[in-house]
Amino acid sequence: MTAVKITYADDVVGSYTLHRRPVPRRGILQLAPGQSAEGYGNKITTDLVLKFRGDTTERRVYATCFSNAASHWIVRNGTQLWLRSHSQDEILD
């Protein structure tokens, strides 16, 4: 079995802040882009963006969800970087 290496955003780049930037929802269920009718998906677009300290670029936060929990991540320079935590208390509006 091959080991999976998880690369965390704060280890690679440093500290960051999260900000709310709503995305358009679709249909009567108000699903986010990438979200199935059941609520699951491999690349669900969230209402959050991430900004690294000293950087002006906002990066969209995505979620991967196939059960009752999701993992959150961003793409930076073509690399998937995972977020250690995702809490409402961390979001700066």
pLDDT digits (tens, 9 = 90+) for 24-38: 898 888 888 888 888
Domain borders along the chain are: 9-87
pTM: 0.85
Average pLDDT over residues 64-76: 91
Q: Extract the tokens encoding 49.
A: 């963006």
Token pair 């930037």 is at which residue? Answer: 21
* Cβ 48 vs Cβ 18: under 8 Å: yes
Question: What is the distance between the alpha carbons of residues 32 and 26, in angstroms, rounded to a whole number?
Answer: 7
Q: Extract the tokens encoding 50.
A: 């991430």
The rounded mean pLDDT for the chain is 88
Q: Quick one: which of 66, 18, 21 has its CA closest to 43?
A: 66
Residue 29 corresponds to which amino acid? L
